[in-house]
Structure 1
């Protein structure tokens, strides 16, 4: 097993409050991760990253996949894949994911995980994949002239990511729930087809939604790396101020928190409240008739104050590229061993050991 050298001194995250996880088991295994398509943003932080760190602090066995295979259809990203993987890893470490307590790994380094895709694909139909709303959304924003088989089968590949380590819990945003349902379907069908009643091989993992599963971007649409409307965790204070100054609001000068009636204004209010750890209704009431300019000033101050320690840790970590490589080597070794053990169990269950 690769031994990690010590992290830079600035990397010393304070353990947050425990997450709420409904389980009677003494420990939970969690699988989560992202595609390396650019720096992570505030939507990622409040949607899933915060939950990952909370689960880690509680003692969960955390697996974090950097899904590099899932960006091969995007030429703009694949041309600098090592750089994007490194940026993603920096974001993980900066927010407090601890490689001594979590397993951070890449798709491409775990052959046994990817082998699970073949038997899992036999358990779902083409129609089920075509109807998946998250696949439809990814395809519509992919800028590709045609849809590759890799993109089309993405939900099943994600099922392999989750089931190779037999995860119990998956922290997700609201938009990822259809993918998780595919995973639950694959687990259930595999167990029904290949295992004895009462002795399932795979758990049916549960979703863990954050308090803010969806934040709007500066254009009023879903915050997304691909849409250029996001506040990156690594953005500096000036860039953050510029982006928020151009955020969409509405013509009503009185600031209220009304997510249904005033989604753009309410998303800004919520962002400030999350960064300040306050109630969004109270934040909106305090701004009152001061208008959108006052709201944007408050949000900018709140976001920059919240991100300041994360940015400092990230800058310190970026100075030691050897440490980043060691983190991935250690994570890949552990994930590879877990995947090999699961694949061996799958072969036994399918009676395909020769």
Structure 2
């Protein structure tokens, strides 16, 4: 793809301005959400490439539970179609969907509250049908400029880019807008995707529904998501084999942490810039215990990497123990897990049918058949 990503000072200033404006709107939502949760409809999710790890837990799952507890309706897409963007086979996708739902349930996401729904791309034809009108609203130049797609292509090592990967931002727009999502929890790196969704919503409303807009203009919900690196000090990723999975036993967790990368200096100090691996382990302990990483480092002192890893093992296993117990309980009832997905799909399809009827009507394509 043509490289057109932030090549001069003007582009950098524009990106910064976009982030500052997104941050302002996000803070306003955080302030208002506890007071008026019914105003907000949240869309979030991930690809089912396997069971989830602590990076997911501390980075996204805990935030979703927080939003759920504030009372917002939340649709969580298990993006099984998107598994095909960077791989040739979806051989394990069915089992992985189950693994993801088990991790959702274990984390505290509650499909029994009437506000939280899990669904998969492949079972919502109405969502996927929105791709056709949405693709008509986006230029190839805009897809070329999307930095997140470029980064995902690079990370996957793709030499050829399939159309699903290339149009991923449009599919994400369909994910958000099919259920009239107006809030999307994202990190800063995902803002280009969301900005394209906002453009698609505006363009559809302006072109086809100026008098009665069909789609809301969704906002990002940003949060101070802690940076959690893998056990090798790199970005946590299953493909790198540097993860601590939520489903691991206490013994398996201890073994993985024992092999985590630190550095030769026995005096433990919290110095993210110069000692990132040590800082990462201290940060993990801090997330689990609520104690400041500087205080944890001071307590370990010159105990070295061994004492640091022992402290992390104890803290992380204690933090994950209730979740692991819940996960094991849900895993013994596969019928319930399927029922959760079935009910979520049914609710998502209700939303999709209603939205698609509005879309057809706005585009003069209902032909009097939608009632």
Q: How high is the TM-score relative to the length of structure 1?
A: 0.88
Residue number among 45, 48, 55 corresponding to 1:33 in the alignment? 45
1:231 counterpart = 2:244: yes
Bigger shift: 327-336 or 124-133? 124-133
Residue number among 57, 60, 69 corresponding to 2:72 in the alignment? 60
Aligned mates of 1:93, 1:247 — CA distance in 2: 28
Residue number among 164, 173, 183 corresponding to 1:169 in the alignment? 183
| Cα pair 2:37 2:71 within 8 Å, conserved | no
Instruction: Determine the structure 1 residue equivalent to 2:14.
Output: none
Residue 142 of structure 1 deviates from its aligned partner by: 2.4
Aligned residues: 335
Residue 164 of structure 1 deviates from its aligned partner by: 0.9
Aligned mates of 2:197, 2:239 — CA distance in 1: 25
Taking the TM superposition and a 5 Å limit, the aligned residue runs for 1:259-278 are 259-278=272-291
Q: Gapped runs of 5+ residues in structure 2?
A: 1-28
The residue matched to 1:33 in structure 2 has which SS? strand
Sort the Cα spacing of 1:40 and 1:80 in 2 relative to 1 into closer, same or farther, 3 A.
Answer: same
Q: Gapped runs of 5+ residues in structure 1?
A: 1-18
Q: How high is the TM-score relative to the length of structure 2?
A: 0.84
Bigger shift: 292-301 or 105-114? 292-301
Instruction: Determine the structure 1 residue equivalent to 2:217.
Output: 204
Q: Deviations over 1:85-104 (max 9, x none)?
A: 11111111111111122111
Q: Deviations over 1:104-132 (max 9, x none)?
A: 11111110001111111222222222332
Residue number among 112, 119, 138 corresponding to 2:126 in the alignment? 112
Residue number among 36, 51, 58 corresponding to 2:63 in the alignment? 51
Residue 202 of structure 1 deviates from its aligned partner by: 2.0
Sort the Cα spacing of 1:178 and 1:297 in 2 relative to 1 into closer, same or farther, 3 A.
Answer: farther
Aligned mates of 1:282, 1:188 — CA distance in 2: 49
Residue number among 175, 182, 207 corresponding to 1:193 in the alignment? 207
Instruction: Determine the structure 2 residue equivalent to 1:344.
Output: 357
Sort the Cα spacing of 1:147 and 1:186 in 2 relative to 1 into closer, same or farther, 3 A.
Answer: same
Instruction: Determine the structure 2 residue equivalent to 1:131.
Output: 145
Aligned mates of 1:21, 1:224 — CA distance in 2: 33
| Cα pair 1:249 1:265 within 8 Å, conserved | yes
Aligned mates of 2:203, 2:342 — CA distance in 1: 34
Aligned mates of 1:77, 1:248 — CA distance in 2: 33
Taking the TM superposition and a 5 Å limit, the aligned residue runs for 1:197-346 are 199-346=212-359
Instruction: Determine the structure 2 residue equivalent to 1:149.
Output: 163
Residue 21 of structure 1 deviates from its aligned partner by: 4.9
Residue 26 of structure 1 deviates from its aligned partner by: 4.6
The residue matched to 1:207 in structure 2 has which SS? strand
Sort the Cα spacing of 1:311 and 1:291 in 2 relative to 1 into closer, same or farther, 3 A.
Answer: same
| Cα pair 2:84 2:90 within 8 Å, conserved | yes
Q: Deviations over 1:276-313 (max 9, x none)?
A: 12222322232233222221111111111111111111
Aligned mates of 1:90, 1:298 — CA distance in 2: 28
The structure where helix makes up a greater share of residues is: 2
Aligned mates of 2:76, 2:324 — CA distance in 1: 21
Q: Which has the larger radius of gyration?
A: 2
Sort the Cα spacing of 1:177 and 1:302 in 2 relative to 1 into closer, same or farther, 3 A.
Answer: farther
| Cα pair 1:77 1:84 within 8 Å, conserved | no
Aligned mates of 1:318, 1:76 — CA distance in 2: 29
Instruction: Determine the structure 2 residue equivalent to 1:80.
Output: 92
Instruction: Determine the structure 1 residue equivalent to 2:3.
Output: none
Aligned mates of 2:230, 2:220 — CA distance in 1: 24
Q: Deviations over 1:228-259 (max 9, x none)?
A: 21111111112212222222223333322233
Instruction: Determine the structure 2 residue equivalent to 1:183.
Output: 197
Greater relative contact order structure (CA < 8 Å, 6+ sep): 1
Residue 143 of structure 1 deviates from its aligned partner by: 4.8
Aligned mates of 2:207, 2:298 — CA distance in 1: 57
